[in-house]
């Protein structure tokens, strides 16, 4: 998965040509860490149809504030340069899959 920062967010997410999943996480966030391998499996499952990126929240606080990401884990879904969905808090991987399917 591609790590995105405030400096690369516009290029890697907003200007992307295919649907994007942005996983906001933190190394101290147990639910985030529990989802990590499952999110990696989604990247393999959907192959080249989507791009999954990760943002380490505590290293990118201004980006989180500008996007109104206030809790972890948070997943943002982008298509054609705009946010089309959001999951936050008690996220289950099936919900992430449903959001991805909705973008394809």
Q: Which of 104, 5, 103 is nearest to 54 (CA)?
A: 5
State yes or no: is 64 an active-site residue.
Answer: no
Indicate which residue of 21, 32, 57, 99 is catalytic.
32
pLDDT (0 to 100) of residue 67:
97
Q: Tell me the average pLDDT across 46-66.
A: 95
What SS3 state is found at 34?
helix
Pairing of strands 51-56, 74-79: unpaired
Alpha helices in the chain (DSSP H): 9, 30-46, 61-66, 93-103
Which of these is catalytic: 1, 16, 26, 29? 29
85 pLDDT band, cuts 50/70/90, is: very high
**Average pLDDT rounded to a whole number, residues 59-73:** 96
**Per-residue pLDDT reduced to its tens digit, 11-39:** 999 999 999 999 999 999 999 999 999 99
Q: Are 71 and 88 in contact (CB under 8 A)?
A: yes
CA distance 101 to 86: 14
Could you confirm whether 29 is annotated as catalytic? yes
> How far apart (Å, rounded) are the C-alpha atoms in residues 18 and 36?
22
Has domain 2-103 been given CATH number 3.40.30.10? yes
- The mean predicted confidence, pLDDT, of the chain is 95
pLDDT at 71 over 90: yes
Q: Is the pLDDT of residue 1 over 90?
A: no
For residues 64 and 24, is the Cβ–Cβ distance under 8 A?
yes
């Amino acid at each position: 998965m591609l790590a995105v920062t405030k400096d690369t967010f516009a290029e890697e997410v907003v200007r992307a040509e295919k649907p994007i999943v942005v996983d906001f996480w933190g190394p101290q966030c147990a639910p985030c860490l529990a989802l990590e391998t499952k999110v990696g499996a989604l990247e393999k499952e959907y192959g080249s149809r989507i791009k999954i990126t990760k943002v380490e929240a505590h290293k990118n606080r201004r980006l989180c504030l500008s996007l109104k990401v206030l809790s972890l884990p948070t997943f943002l879904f982008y298509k054609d340069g705009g946010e089309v969905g959001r999951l936050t808090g008690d996220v289950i991987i099936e919900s992430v899959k449903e959001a991805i399917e909705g973008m394809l």
